[in-house]
Chain A
Amino acid sequence: MAAALHNIALQAYYSYKGLFLWLNWTAYISNVFIAPVVFVVIVTLTGRFAGQSDSANAYIIGMAAYAIPAILSGGILQSFCYERTFGTLSLIYASRSNRWVTYWSKGLLHYPNGLLAAATSLLFGWLLLDLDFSRLNWPALVVLLLVISFSCLCLCLFVGNFSIALREWIIPVGITNGLLLITSGVVVPVDQLPGFLGEIGRVVPLTHGLSALREAFEGASLGDLVDDIVYELVVGLCYLLAGGFLFSLLEANAKRTGTYESAI
């Protein structure tokens, strides 16, 4: 058991280090800390300029939550894409590893990055934009950030399969982030989205977590938010399972077509 856990940790650590090319000071600080803060400031100021100054808190919280999938998608999707480009995907396909474990372990060390990005965004929201912490329910904040990071991580792992199949990560990152930005209520409230976009909003991560997060800033307690929290967790779990399933389909397809050896 200890050996198995040790191996999972080794897989998680080495594939993170080997595949996450932003793991250098410049790229890491820019992507995990600077970019989210810039986005929070831009969107909040735009909102104020558009005459919605009373919604500043909602914008800051929305963008802080959005910082989670933004950094996770970049990191995880590039890792999956490079797994194929570097030719190391075959090592997995010919290995004795449990594919679910191997697949999930690729997200483990990305998880804290989402939390860091969100926390930094909230901190700077307070320093630069007067985010109001006075009514915040702190335990709810902590739990919600953990849950949102989990569900977004699961979505990114799921989409990671597409970046293997397409040998491309920038486009899937753009689509994932764009979709979340529009449909999960980050900027536009979900109930004001046109029909089908609202429907999408219901089945992507972030929507319920974010709505709960905004309520937590208004003083709602964990008990008040339990429905949203469970919903968010379930959405994450669905992507996690679907993603693992897709990962094994890809493996079967790779064996059948024989084209996954080539990188370009």
Chain B
Amino acid sequence: MNRDFAIECERLSRIYRSGSIPGRGRETPALTDLTMQVPKAVVFGLLGPNGAGKTTTIRILSTLLAPTSGSARVLGYDVVKQAKQVRERIGFILGGDRGLYGRLTGKQNVRYFGALNRLNPKTAKRRGDELLERVGLAAAADTLVEEYSRGMKQRLHIARGLLTDPEVIFMDEPTIGLDPMGAQELRQYIPELVGQGKTILLTTHYMLEADMLCDEIALIDHGRLVALGTPDEIKRNFSRLTIFEIVVNQTSETLTAELSNIDGVQHVETSAEGIFQKITIAVEAGVDARDQIQATIGAERVESLVVRDPTLEEAYVSILT
């Protein structure tokens, strides 16, 4: 047990079994041997395609689901054996349409949650009002939740998840359904929470968001860890890609195909760039394809050529395909 880590997973696995007839059930391995450590006071991104096991991981860490094997600790407390201690220190934002009482107002939902978690009613009321204000629901605080839009419900989930002032916060796609302002406000709020010493485990499908917010990222696929590191490490080391961005004044129909055939080229994409065309080429790191690319396009057609690291999204796609 290491007190410096907010979250530790040790060969964490989860298999879902469906079907109640013995022998006829189906088994879904949702998470397999996940080992990772999340230091305190960071934003840790858990990324991966749909069905990769992100929500499953969050449910295990928030004591809602028992692992099939392996173990996990939150702030040093075992999520199975010391679930009570874990629950006293965590908050979670699972989001979605469910998990709220539609027949209560936003404020009442928050107060119910406070009572459920044994907060002092006065403190809960004050904090609840502050948080509703903070997530932009002050005006709708007394409206029934069944009349809320999806984004309003998401804002309410966020306010409620923070009500207990938890040390570790699990956010499962927190910006889903939020309007651009709402998403931006949350992205500004997250570093503030980390500044207060809180640790945030975040899942998102928005790579820009992950790149902007996360100190560290774990990429999982089919329940297995495939990459772990800072966003820069993920881009450089795991994707093993170099990106060429070439602006050309003329292309031909066959150019994309020709470029794709060059050794080491993984992916070619063209888009309009003003009156010119921009060609984005992903090349395996370590392969020197520059001369061949220029020769294929034709030096006279090239307006500019930039070599850069991949974006997180490009890295993500290259790692997972």
Q: How large is the interface on B (under 10, 10 to 19, 20 to 34, 35 or more residues)?
A: 35 or more
Cα(A259)–Cα(B88), bound, Å? 24
Min C-beta distance of B87 to chain A, whole Å: 5
Contacts A19-B101, A86-B101, A257-B17; A94 near B64 (Cβ below 8 A): yes
Contacts A14-B101, A18-B112, A96-B88; A258 near B117 (Cβ below 8 A): no
Q: Determine if B121 and A6 form an interchain contact, defined as CB atoms under 8 angstroms apart.
A: yes
A side interface size, CB within 8 A: 35
Cα(A88)–Cα(B100), bound, Å? 6
Question: Which of A3, A23, A93 is B121 in contact with, Cβ under 8 Å?
Answer: A3
Q: Is A174 at the interface (CB under 8 A from chain B)?
A: no
Which residues of B104-125 have CB atoms within 8 Å of chain A's CB atoms? 104, 108-109, 111-122
Q: Determine if B117 and A263 form an interchain contact, defined as CB atoms under 8 angstroms apart.
A: no
Contacts A94-B62, A257-B17; A14 near B112 (Cβ below 8 A): yes
Q: Is B262 at the interface (CB under 8 A from chain A)?
A: no
Cα(A263)–Cα(B111), bound, Å? 24
Q: Determine if A10 and B118 form an interchain contact, defined as CB atoms under 8 angstroms apart.
A: no
Q: Is A90 at the interface (CB under 8 A from chain B)?
A: yes
Q: Determine if A258 and B121 form an interchain contact, defined as CB atoms under 8 angstroms apart.
A: no
Task: Please give, as numbers and ranges, the residues of chain A lying within 8 Å of B244 by CB-CB distance.
Answer: none
Q: Is B96 at the interface (CB under 8 A from chain A)?
A: yes
Q: Is A255 at the interface (CB under 8 A from chain B)?
A: yes
Q: Is B103 at the interface (CB under 8 A from chain A)?
A: yes
Q: Is B84 at the interface (CB under 8 A from chain A)?
A: yes
Q: Is B59 at the interface (CB under 8 A from chain A)?
A: yes
Task: Please give, as numbers and ranges, the residues of chain A lying within 8 Å of B90 by CB-CB distance.
Answer: 94
Cα(A88)–Cα(B108), bound, Å? 14
Cα(A259)–Cα(B17), bound, Å? 9
Min C-beta distance of A57 to chain B, whole Å: 41
Q: Determine if B92 and A14 form an interchain contact, defined as CB atoms under 8 angstroms apart.
A: no
Q: Determine if A87 and B99 form an interchain contact, defined as CB atoms under 8 angstroms apart.
A: yes
Q: Is B34 at the interface (CB under 8 A from chain A)?
A: no
Min C-beta distance of A27 to chain B, whole Å: 13
Cα(A95)–Cα(B84), bound, Å? 9
Q: In this complex, what residue of B is CB-closest to A18?
A: B101
Known: A14-B115, A94-B64, A94-B92. 20 other contacts (CB 8 A): A6-B115, A7-B118, A7-B121, A10-B121, A11-B115, A17-B104, A17-B108, A18-B101, A18-B102, A18-B103, A18-B112, A21-B103, A88-B100, A88-B101, A95-B116, A102-B116, A257-B17, A258-B14, A258-B16, A259-B18
A residues near B, CB below 8 A?
Answer: 3-4, 6-8, 10-11, 14-15, 17-19, 21, 23, 86-88, 90-98, 102, 254-259, 261, 263
